[in-house]
Structure 1
Amino acid sequence: MPPSLKPHLNGWYRSLKATSRSGLRVERATNQPLAALRGALGVAIALFGALALSGPAMATSAALGAQMAGMATFQRSYRPRPWLALATALGLAVSTFVGYVASPWPALFLCVVALWSFGAGLAWVGGQTAGILASMTVAVMLVVVSLTESVSQAAQHAGVIAAGGVIQALLVLVWPVNRWGAHREALAEACASMADYARRLRHDPFAPFDPDPLMAAREAAVVTPGQARSRPAELTGVRPLVERMRPAMSALADPRVGAAEEGPERDRARELLAAAADILDMAAHTIRSGVSPKIPERAYAALALPDDGPILHGIARHTALRLIGLLAEVHDALETPPDDDSPRYLPRPGVRELLPLTVVAIRRNWTWRSAVLRHAVRVAVVVTLAEGIGMALPYGHGYWAAMTAMMVMRPDFSQTYSRGVARLAGTVVGVGVASAVMVAARPAPWVCGALAVVAVGGAYLTMRAGYMALSTLVTVYVVFLLSMDGLTLSRTAAERVGMTLLGGLLAFAAYAVWPTWQTVRLPHRLADQISAAGQYAAATLEAFASPGPVTRRAMRDALLDYRAARAALRAADDSAATEPVRHRGLRPSQLSDARAAVAAIGRTSMLIEAHAPTATAPSPGAAAFAGVVRDQLTIAAVAARTGTKVDLTPVRDAYQLWSDSADGTPDEILRDASILTEAVTGLEESLN
């Protein structure tokens, strides 16, 4: 073996080993049992109703429509669950009818499969939920087309598929199970995360903060007008207050701008942070349970003014008073419902608004550099090839190869390989279990239907346990479902295992031949975060240069963009950790140091935000310094992409000019700007 090839093969071995273990892992996590029971009931109504009226073939279509629509209601989405079920059912019905119209002509049908698969891959521009639901339409189209014999039958199958989705949507409406559970959990987790941050700040003034729970809470707060009218009171008004606590806590704990490092001031700061943690834990419990808030007595005592007078002074006292005020507002928001009938909310775009946004997203991703476009092309080629091979083989159910490829392929390497391994293992186990039951009991069609309902109920219940558990139960469900029409068991088992193996191998090979590595995208993701950090830092400084609602809104928007860029880099780094390649640009140590420096820039910008005034005299020096910071960090972002050196001396010069100008800027802001300059210098050193 050539010496240069050995590291490459070792990298693939490590990556495949890690992804295989990830795919085969089974977690101890379940969905709501009542929600799983409701989904299984929807499948049972559709299946047995169609079986009584039209026979096994129509019952299979009805059950598949209800099953997929039921799965849509379990997706991680904050949209109304009935609409998810209806949208899935509509997509399934249209895809199956179009697929059948083209099925008499194999070449035309393969073109339809290619086009539909490409569209399903492109649907990932709308997020994971949109991508998964679009993939379902292709999978069901491949199955149902083989069951129909005429256009009228195709229309009937499309109708019963849509009816299955309608049944699931109606069940969600008449039998709501923990309707606001996902929204409650997201907001409660944000409060609990902030409480944990407060406790860690008591011992480590520079403790890192994870903004992901706040991002999830903000996503959950984006609701439709109908949701806003029926939203529980405890979900209204708390999130913005929790968001504003983070800079106040950070500024209070930081010895450079807040309480002194040791002594009575530090003890008082720790006391306030402990009280904040208790109140935020109370808020999390209230949001999860809906009970009235009860603040612990020790928290009340800590928030009160000490008998010997104020211990904190200057900016530390101002920050503490702001934190106490925010904690009081959180309690009031949980205790008192909103006065008006139309609470303020973040509007979720409807269908009319969503279509233009989708077009813009597709245009933005219409480039070979986009992982989504490459995924769409890869899926279209693999699924079409798998379906073509299945049609050429002497099997009656060769579509299982294409269906497997469609369901396991994802825009990144790690998910594709882990899901592929899980799918193959789950198929073998599922076929073995179902075969044993069929051989031992030889159940009648109605009994097969009942066993299929039990299996799909188990699939709904264990969807969060891992893809292998889900694949196993879905395989059992499909085998029982197809056995209702007397399909030969041995052929079912052999075909499903063999064709699933073929589909998985084609998916693996496609990603190996034409990959989209997240590793090589890390410098670009880092550059995006550097640029976003520059915008955020500049926006906080401009809040002093021109105080007012406009600059505060710009500061808020810049913070959200910075968090989104940070989350994108973190996700890319997590995916890159399992890939068999290594980037030749930034070294891992460089990337780690640069991320730490950017985090320091973000943390310092948050200190500046904590001191942002509502109204004060303009600071021309702050405006000039903000412009330099924005421009120079944009240059640093370009350097991170290209791997060139960068000189950020203009930032240091601009700060020195500002600090010497004596333009009336408060000393605490100049101190914050000095810390920001040090963080920018650290970024320069890491990139060079």
Structure 2
Amino acid sequence: MPRELPIGLTPPDWLVRNLRAQPAPVNRPAVVRAAIALALPLAIGLAFGRPSYGALASMGALNGVISDTAAAYRVRIPTIALPQLFGAVGVTLGALVHGHGWVAVAAVTGVALVSGMISTIGAVASASGLVLLLTCVVGAGLPMPGEWWLAPLLLSGGGLLVLVLALLAWPLRSGVPERAAVADTYRTVADLLTAVGGGAQAYDDARHAVTQSLNQSYDTVLAHRATHHGRSPELARLVAQLNAITPVVEAAPAAHLTGAPLPPEVPEAVRHLASAVETGTGPTVQKLPAPTTETARAVDHALRHAAEVVTTPDVDPRGIDDRLGRPAALSIRTARALRGVTLSAASWRYGLRLALCIGLAQTLVSIVPVPRSYWVALTITFVLKPDFGSVFSRALLRALGTVAGLVVAAAVLSEVPRGWWDVPALLLLAPLVPALTPRGYGYQTAAITPVILLVSDILNREGTGLLLPRLVDSLMGCAIALVAGYLLWPESWHTRVGDRLADAVDGTAHYVESAFGPNAVDPPARARMRRRLYRDLSAIRTEFQRALTEPPPTGRRAAAWWPLVVAVERIVDATTAGRVRVRHGAAPPSAAEVTQVVRQLRELAEGVRKAETPYAVRTDLTGPAESVLEPLRQEVAAARAIASPH
């Protein structure tokens, strides 16, 4: 029997959360692409007697590997190509100010401001801002070989090589990632139906998985459609199939509230539909038990509708409602993004925060002689990414990951002869980047460190002399990020998350009104509203989980409010369940019942918005026990009880 650690030696919960590896499958095609894209340019450079050129192209390929996160082929083009364009601009600007002292400090700080602001737009813009600043720092810190245009050409060429490798299978696998995403959503819905009537935690986890899968599928399919000229019948069919599974998702909470599990034939039928969606073949009709209750009829009706849509070979593209709204034209989206960046206080705040840290780093290394000083700014760039989670956690994991990566790098730089032996070394090290990145930031850092040190050694020829400066620079960067990017910006978790949770509660009150009030909206509008609510709640859940990785008092405050996030999700479920029951024969609630619930929700939202800690509330929800709103009243009362002090 293992001995328990003394209480004083037990690691704190926030540290355990930071160090825990996230479960994720290995993306084998990405692993192969990384190995080829990083090793091939170096091999070509060595063959032509220009290893430094090959090293620069490999560095660009590393940027491409980091950006290679999309599943759909059409989405990969902007996801990988756009950051390479920004990378070319960044290295050009950096090379122009290399060796110019305070001019270089001012230039890199200005690029940091721009990079930070555009990083708040979205995922692709975030990757572009990251690569812009990274390449600018490298260009300002290292002498680039050849003419001024050669470095950006080589860096971009390496990144575009990743894109070419990613698109090789497009003619044979066009549409496969989109179908796989929709099929995966059907399978998560089948898991949700399996969890119906079981434990609350298992059902909550399954519902959260459905929300994440729906978000990913809609993003994948609609992003593909936004880049597709005209209406594609295949994409319209996938959107129709996603829309068709929505009534099944809506019926699940109504079935769960009965406390009885569904017949096993029901989730098995959904898994059968998932296989049909993935293969593109029509499913055979599954035999389902005859429904005997209103909730069973709702599940049966929704499932038969989904089967009909999946079986239908042709869908009219003009009659498809996307549930999340139609994607705007590229010019409109670009204008909105630019307006949001220039007018958003959050964009300016993050840009100034990043610029302050980069400016301090550049000033420090200009005053104090630091070997390979550009690593300080590179560390800050990675740690302060806006969409990568807690700055504190990233600084901690960056330091630990760097130490682990340096151990591997020390073995490679001391034992592997320089020259052609670098190629098989990269072939072995490069696949670790896409393999370990999904596991967590510390694991990604441990994988990237030996790769980038090997490439840097080809440019500098310093061998193991790189290791100690690399460690010192990383620790300096982490320290600057913690002090100037974290401690000096007292934005508590409540400022970041509490307001968003309050907005979600307000949105839930509006959803209740729209479902049962006198001005109830039509089903498609209600479905879009519910999807937006679940998407917002999923993002809030992610923010809370990030806050839990921070040390006290931030992590402790997040833990105190965490049950309320789950409670609000259950309120949305109860509202949907009530609406489903009314649609299948139950009596609608009275206006007084609806008004009472809406008032309680808005009071709860106002309390969450103002409170820093759990606060006292009053609950006076009453009504007929047979009403469809009785489960909703119970969930609202539970949520308000969670907000009360214990």
- Residue-by-residue CA offset, 1:482-519 (whole Å, 9 max, x unaligned): 23245121432222122122212222333234343325
Distance 1:146 1:335, change over 3 A: same
The match for 1:3 is: none
Q: Is the 8 A contact 1:223 1:345 kept in 2?
A: no
**Does 1:137 pair with 2:111?**
no
**Does 1:244 pair with 2:233?**
no
The one of 586, 593, 598 equivalent to 2:568 is 598
What one-letter code is carried by the residue in structure 2 that aligns with 1:671? S
The one of 150, 155, 158 equivalent to 1:164 is 158
- Residue-by-residue CA offset, 1:96-145 (whole Å, 9 max, x unaligned): 11222333533232222222223333334334553244222211221233
Distance 1:556 1:624, change over 3 A: farther
Partner SS state of residue 154, structure 1: coil
- Residue-by-residue CA offset, 1:25-63 (whole Å, 9 max, x unaligned): 556745332332223323344444455568333333222
In 2: Cα distance, 1:97 partner to 1:355 partner: 25
- Map 1:76-87; keep pairs closer than 5 Å: 80-87=75-82
- Residue-by-residue CA offset, 1:441-477 (whole Å, 9 max, x unaligned): 4222x43345334422332333324334432332222
Distance 1:426 1:201, change over 3 A: closer
Partner SS state of residue 80, structure 1: helix
**Does 1:382 pair with 2:357?**
yes
The match for 2:270 is: 280
Partner SS state of residue 546, structure 2: helix
RMSD, aligned CA:
4.1
Deviation of residue 687 (structure 1)? 4.4
Partner SS state of residue 369, structure 2: coil
- Residue-by-residue CA offset, 1:180-225 (whole Å, 9 max, x unaligned): 5654454334323322222222446995432333333333332333
Shifted more, 471-480 versus 412-421: the winner is 412-421
Q: Is the 8 A contact 1:449 1:481 kept in 2?
A: no
The match for 2:120 is: 125
Q: Is the 8 A contact 1:452 1:478 kept in 2?
A: no
The match for 2:604 is: 636
The one of 108, 121, 124 equivalent to 1:113 is 108
The match for 1:577 is: 548
The one of 296, 303, 306 equivalent to 1:330 is 306
In 2: Cα distance, 1:483 partner to 1:687 partner: 56
Distance 1:459 1:540, change over 3 A: same
Partner SS state of residue 443, structure 1: coil
In 1: Cα distance, 2:150 partner to 2:602 partner: 58
The match for 1:215 is: 215
What one-letter code is carried by the residue in structure 1 that aligns with 2:473? M
Q: Is the 8 A contact 1:117 1:135 kept in 2?
A: no
Q: Show structure 2 runs of 5+ residues with no match.
A: 1-6
Shifted more, 498-507 versus 36-45: the winner is 36-45
The one of 333, 336, 340 equivalent to 1:354 is 333
Deviation of residue 91 (structure 1)? 0.6
Distance 1:126 1:215, change over 3 A: same
- Residue-by-residue CA offset, 1:152-204 (whole Å, 9 max, x unaligned): 82322112222223333233223349665654454334323322222222446
**Does 1:38 pair with 2:33?**
yes
Deviation of residue 90 (structure 1)? 0.2
Q: Show structure 1 runs of 5+ residues with no match.
A: 1-9, 256-260, 306-310, 660-667
Distance 1:397 1:76, change over 3 A: farther
What one-letter code is carried by the residue in structure 2 that aligns with 1:192? R
Q: Is the 8 A contact 1:375 1:410 kept in 2?
A: no
In 2: Cα distance, 1:130 partner to 1:336 partner: 38
TM-score by length of 1: 0.78
Aligned residues: 622
In 2: Cα distance, 1:388 partner to 1:184 partner: 51
What one-letter code is carried by the residue in structure 1 that aligns with 2:332? E
- Map 1:79-98; keep pairs closer than 5 Å: 80-98=75-93
**Does 1:153 pair with 2:147?**
yes
Q: Is the 8 A contact 2:236 2:316 kept in 1?
A: no
Deviation of residue 682 (structure 1)? 4.6
Q: Is the 8 A contact 1:61 1:157 kept in 2?
A: yes
The match for 1:434 is: 409
In 2: Cα distance, 1:320 partner to 1:615 partner: 12
The one of 196, 201, 208 equivalent to 1:201 is 196
Deviation of residue 22 (structure 1)? 4.7
Q: Is the 8 A contact 1:221 1:345 kept in 2?
A: no
Q: Which structure has the bigger radius of gyration?
A: 1
Q: Is the 8 A contact 1:233 1:337 kept in 2?
A: no
Distance 1:133 1:77, change over 3 A: farther
Q: Is the 8 A contact 2:544 2:562 kept in 1?
A: no
The one of 281, 290, 296 equivalent to 1:320 is 296
The match for 2:4 is: none
What one-letter code is carried by the residue in structure 1 that aligns with 2:336? L
- Residue-by-residue CA offset, 1:355-379 (whole Å, 9 max, x unaligned): 233235436741xxx4x65443332
The match for 1:71 is: 66
Distance 1:341 1:631, change over 3 A: closer
TM-score by length of 2: 0.82
Shifted more, 376-385 versus 121-130: the winner is 121-130
Distance 1:421 1:107, change over 3 A: same
What one-letter code is carried by the residue in structure 1 that aligns with 2:221? A
Percent of aligned pairs with the same amino acid: 19
- Map 1:520-669; keep pairs closer than 5 Å: 521-542=496-517, 545=518, 551-582=522-553, 591=561, 594-595=564-565, 598-611=568-581, 613=583, 629-630=597-598, 633-643=601-611
What one-letter code is carried by the residue in structure 1 that aligns with 2:193? A
The match for 1:662 is: none
Q: Is the 8 A contact 2:376 2:477 kept in 1?
A: yes
In 1: Cα distance, 2:31 partner to 2:563 partner: 46
In 2: Cα distance, 1:25 partner to 1:216 partner: 24
What one-letter code is carried by the residue in structure 1 that aligns with 2:337? T
In 1: Cα distance, 2:458 partner to 2:536 partner: 51
**Does 1:402 pair with 2:370?**
no
Deviation of residue 438 (structure 1)? 3.6
Deviation of residue 624 (structure 1)? 7.3
Deviation of residue 72 (structure 1)? 1.1
Q: Is the 8 A contact 2:619 2:640 kept in 1?
A: yes
Partner SS state of residue 629, structure 2: helix
Q: Is the 8 A contact 1:224 1:349 kept in 2?
A: no
Distance 1:174 1:482, change over 3 A: same
In 1: Cα distance, 2:565 partner to 2:452 partner: 47
In 1: Cα distance, 2:268 partner to 2:91 partner: 55
Distance 1:232 1:350, change over 3 A: closer
Distance 1:593 1:48, change over 3 A: closer
Deviation of residue 93 (structure 1)? 0.3
What one-letter code is carried by the residue in structure 1 that aligns with 2:271? D
Q: Is the 8 A contact 1:448 1:483 kept in 2?
A: no
Partner SS state of residue 578, structure 1: coil
The match for 1:56 is: 51
In 2: Cα distance, 1:34 partner to 1:587 partner: 38
